[in-house]
Chains A and B, each alone.
Chain A
Amino acid sequence: MDFTQLIQDITVGLRSFTWANALMLVIGGVLIFLAVVKEYEPVLLLPIGFGCIMANLGMSYETGMMKVIYDAGITTEIFPLLIFIGVGAMIDFRPLLAMPHMVILGAAGQFGIYATLILATLLGFNLNQAASIGVIGAIDGPTSIFVASKLAPEMLGPIAVAAYSYMSLIPIIQPPIMRIMTTRKERLTRMDYAPKPVSTTAVIAFPIIVTIAVSLVAPSAAPLIATLMLGNLLKECGVVDRLSKSAQNEIINIATLFLGLAIGSTMTAENFVNLQTAAVLALGLLAFVLDTVAGLSFGKLMYMVTGGKINPLIGACGISAFPMAGRLSARMALEEDYDNFILMHAMGSNTAGQLGSVVAGGLLIALVAGFAL
């Protein structure tokens, strides 16, 4: 037996390990730390962190079990869609149906996506990559991953990490912007929640109609909107409680675990340790801030137009990030006046934002395809 050959075989794991891999192990560790100690979106950041560690120990998405998971769920785009079935089963569209004008805020909250897209192209990213970075601004993880896996799969890791870590940082990033952009008088605005009661027929028809309408207008967003609305229909129809419960628990949980692992498995040293990652993280944050600013500006506009009847705080949850952003807006109003409950309005705006980010994602895919021709 050739002894030197044996030593080489035994030490293959150690020899292919570089300082960059070691750095990635630390990054994976930091993600796990944020998940366990800070409880920042632990359901996602924990599998992503562990997947990242595995990827840098020779178990990346290019080989073995991780390749199977990656090909099955990310290449096929199936994981984000399964997650959306669960998200849909947890959304209550009643506040939005009672106050349809909230749709405007959900559209305004997507402005930062396009502003960031333009900036990213100016910085030298190609259109596919720029579009994928812009979507981070809506803080809608599944849509970000769906768009990135279609347009720029090479940047999935940083995009997913940005989308989910900023989601957990909403209560830190948004309040200062909200305080700067609005006056105290505006934040004290009371809104009476006096909706016309929403009929069961409307609640059941809504997901079906939205699926048809959006699929016709923005066909690239069709899978996202269809799964979201399917989940919602399961919940609202009232006759498939078992399916609705599965969607809210088992389906979304299993999909989330493997989505996180698969995303983590793309975070190999050669993919992640570069300037591009830093640029994605920075531009993603900028997109988030711009989205918030755009939503708030529109909230202020509605405040002025209605003569002070709309609390501009609900503009901030016109981004996606359901339901964290909606709760935060409501909490901001309560902090100023414990008797001012704008939660239902905030949720109306927030669900509109969720729809808005899905449509915006679909339009981006269509736009990029259009330019490529």
Chain B
Amino acid sequence: MNVQVKIGDQVFDVEVGDLSARPILATIAGETFEVWPEEAAAAAPVEAVQPAGQRAVAPVAATPAAVPAPALVQRTAPVVARDSKSKVMLAPIPGAIVSLAVKPGDKVAKGQELLALEAMKMKNAIRATRDGVIAAVHVNVGDLVQKGHPLVEYTD
């Protein structure tokens, strides 16, 4: 299916693949991008336009349902992560907390670094898997945590 997308003054011809597949493949001027729509709401913003051709590009809306302002995900950081609805963020691996980037009351966006966890001498950024407001931080710098230990809690 071919769609025309207007961003600013520029018009892009986008060839969109199977809409029921994940990721949806969108081809613009011969370059193919993977698009991960958010499944929660019907016409939610399309997220993450990336890989295949490494080059950072203008945000592209891919679903025909006239999608509002899509978010562009940078190359250096995190590309995709499944959206989580859980209220509490758990430690994915055992390790030591080396820094905290948020405090209760902070508003965080998906992909934002919440804290850093050092495991096997490697510092790992633990990032928000959804938007929300932090209700509580359950760890302190220097704490040793096991896998599954609650790290951060959202208000909702």
Interface residues of A (CB under 8 A from B): 92, 95, 184, 188, 193-194, 323, 326-327, 330, 334-341, 343-344, 347
Contact = CB atoms under 8 A, between A and B. Distances in A.
B142 interface: no
B79 A339 contact: no
Contact of B51 (A95, A184, A323, A347): A184
B122 interface: yes
B54 to A, nearest CB: 10
B78 A334 contact: yes
A341 B93 contact: yes
A347 B81 CA distance: 22
Interface stretch (B38-46, B57-65, B96-104, B123-131): B123-131
A327 B122 contact: yes
Contact of B124 (A193, A334, A336): A334
Given A184-B51, A330-B122, 13 more contacts: A95-B120, A193-B94, A327-B120, A337-B78, A337-B79, A337-B80, A338-B77, A338-B79, A339-B81, A341-B93, A343-B120, A344-B94, A344-B119
A336 B122 contact: no
B8 to A, nearest CB: 29
B82 interface: yes
A323 B121 CA distance: 9
B127 A339 contact: yes
Contacts of B125: 338
Contact of A341 (B111, B124, B129): B124
Interface residues on B, range: 20 to 34
A327 B111 CA distance: 21
B111 A338 contact: yes
B15 to A, nearest CB: 19
A353 to B, nearest CB: 14
B147 interface: yes
B127 A338 contact: yes
A344 B129 contact: no
A210 B60 CA distance: 56
Listed from nearest, the 4 A-B pairs whose CB atoms lie closest are A338-B78, A339-B81, A341-B92, A338-B127
A335 B75 CA distance: 8
A330 B84 CA distance: 21
Nearest to A338: B78
27 contacts: A184-B34, A188-B80, A193-B92, A193-B147, A194-B147, A323-B122, A326-B120, A327-B120, A327-B122, A334-B124, A336-B79, A337-B79, A337-B80, A337-B81, A338-B81, A338-B125, A338-B127, A339-B78, A339-B84, A340-B81, A341-B93, A341-B124, A343-B119, A343-B120, A344-B93, A344-B119, A347-B120
Contacts of B124: 330, 334, 341, 343
A338 B84 CA distance: 13
Indicate the member of A334, A335, A339, A341 with the most B CB atoms within 10 Å: A339
Nearest to A340: B81
Nearest to B119: A343
Contacts of B82: 337, 339
B32 to A, nearest CB: 12
Contacts of A340: 81
A63 B39 CA distance: 73
A12 B124 CA distance: 58
Contacts of B79: 335-338
Nearest to A350: B120
Contacts of B84: 339
Contacts of B80: 188, 336-337
Nearest to A345: B93
Contacts of A95: 120
Contacts of B93: 193, 341, 343-344
Nearest to A346: B120
A347 to B, nearest CB: 5
A323 B84 CA distance: 31
A188 B124 CA distance: 17
Contacts of B51: 184
A170 to B, nearest CB: 14
A343 B84 CA distance: 21
